[in-house]
Chains A and B, each alone.
Chain A
Amino acid sequence: MITKMTITNIHVINQDSAYDFYVNKLGFKLVDDIQMGPGTRWLTVSPPEQPDLQLVLFPVTVSKMFPKEIADNLIDLIRKGIFGCGVLTCNDIFATYEELKSKGVEFIKAPTKEFYGTEALFKDDSGNFFSLQPINNFGNENNI
């Protein structure tokens, strides 16, 4: 019986830049940063209140998994904003939106009331996008 997801990937173009984005801007916690040889590292982060889920900041570089043509195509698609990586939840979407915007996070959609609740969309430093939603998206969204 499967019980949990513990590790998943976010394909990133540059790990240094991704570290800065996820740790310093989004406020994720660093879990592992292990040098695995010249220019390559095992880099994982967790959402602040979800320590048992690790997101691998997986670099798209030419490797056994990514021959050059595939790596180039994947980087192109990431930069074009094709990949949505999931929904991140927060206590207060308006406060979170204001904070992330002040830190330079690029939003492609400001908090907007949809039929399923209030949602904003933002991009990471590579081009992956996330949905941002309040925890109780069908309740009262305005805390103040």
Chain B
Amino acid sequence: MTAEQYPKVYLYRRIVQAKLFIDNNYADKIDLGNISDEAYFSKFHFIRLFKSVYGKTPHQYLKNVRIEKAKELLKNEVSVSEACFFVGFDSVSSFSGLFSKVVGTSPSAYLTKHQQTKRKISLAPLSFVPGCYAYQHGWLENSNFEEASD
């Protein structure tokens, strides 16, 4: 069985195209119509095929992509409101509600936790690296790191 021979390759390519459309346009106002148009399917047929491949409906997948992107932004110390609008939500309260439900912590608590971690890393980077790796790289010989980790 080669790539060109596996069953329904043309369907797979269109579903993948739709998934990549979501990955690339999650921050815009896209709806199922946009996405199924992208894949050249009727809405109903498209939702069924998408779910059978990815285990989520396109709408669930879009929400998941937006939350994952928001997590990345918050880890990089972007504010909650900026992260919210950047990933395509219209309101901070609906964003915060969904984020809390999916991640298990509020976006502001998530941001604070990662800000604290970043501060700890900047003060003592070696405490975040297993000693065997630091030794192999010769990082333990760097006096600046030794001072920082004291």
B129 touches A95 (CB 8 A): no
Q: Which residues of chain B are within 8 angstroms of A113 by Cβ–Cβ distance?
A: 1
| Interface pair A95/B16, CB less than 8 Å apart | yes
In Å, the complex CA distance between A65 and B8 comes to: 49
Residues of B within 8 A of A102 (CB): 16, 20
Quick one: CB contact mask for B49-80 with A, threshold 8 Å, 1 for yes?
10011110000000000000000100000000
Number of interface residues of B (CB under 8 A): 36
- Chain A 23-47 against B: per-residue CB contact (8 Å), 1 yes, 0 no? 0000000101011110010100000
Interface SS of B by simple majority: helix
* Interchain CB contact under 8 A, A63 and B136: yes
B104 part of interface (Cβ distance < 8 Å): no
Q: Is A16 an interface residue (CB 8 A)?
A: no
Q: Which residues of B are found within 8 Å of A143, using beta-carbon distances?
A: 52-53
Q: From A111, which residue of chain B is reached at the shortest CB distance?
A: B6
In the complex where A42-B125, A102-B16, A102-B20 touch, is A144 in contact with B138 (Cβ < 8 A)? Answer: no
Q: Is A125 an interface residue (CB 8 A)?
A: no
In the assembly, what is the distance between CA of A38 and CA of B70, in Å?
30
Closest CB-CB distance, B24 to chain A, in whole Å? 11
Query: In this assembly, does B11 line the interface, its C-beta being within 8 Å of a C-beta of chain A?
Result: yes
Proximity string of chain A (91-125) to chain B, C-beta cutoff 8 Å, 1 when within and 0 when not: 11011011101100000001111000010000000
Interface centre among B6, B53, B134 (most CB of A within 10 A): B6
Identity of the chain A residue whose Cβ is nearest the Cβ of B137 in the assembled complex: A63
- Which among A30, A98, A111 is the interface contact of B13 at CB below 8 angstroms? A98
Beta-carbon contact of A95 and B15 below 8 Å: yes
The residue that A94 contacts in the complex, of B9, B133, B139, with Cβ under 8 A, is B9
CB distance from A20 to the nearest CB of B (A): 15
Q: Shortest CB–CB separation between residue A45 and chain B, in angstroms?
A: 13
- From A34, A63, A112, give the contact of B1 (CB < 8 A): A112
Residues of chain B touching chain A, judged by Cβ–Cβ distance below 8 Å, are 1-3, 6-9, 11-13, 15-16, 19-20, 49, 52-55, 72, 121, 125-126, 128-130, 133-139, 142, 144-145
Other 8 A-B pairs with CB < 8 A, given A36-B125, A64-B136, A142-B8: A35-B125, A36-B129, A36-B137, A63-B138, A64-B135, A92-B12, A98-B16, A142-B6
Which 8 pairs from chain A and chain B are nearest by CB?
Answer: A110-B3, A65-B136, A64-B138, A98-B16, A143-B52, A92-B53, A95-B53, A99-B16
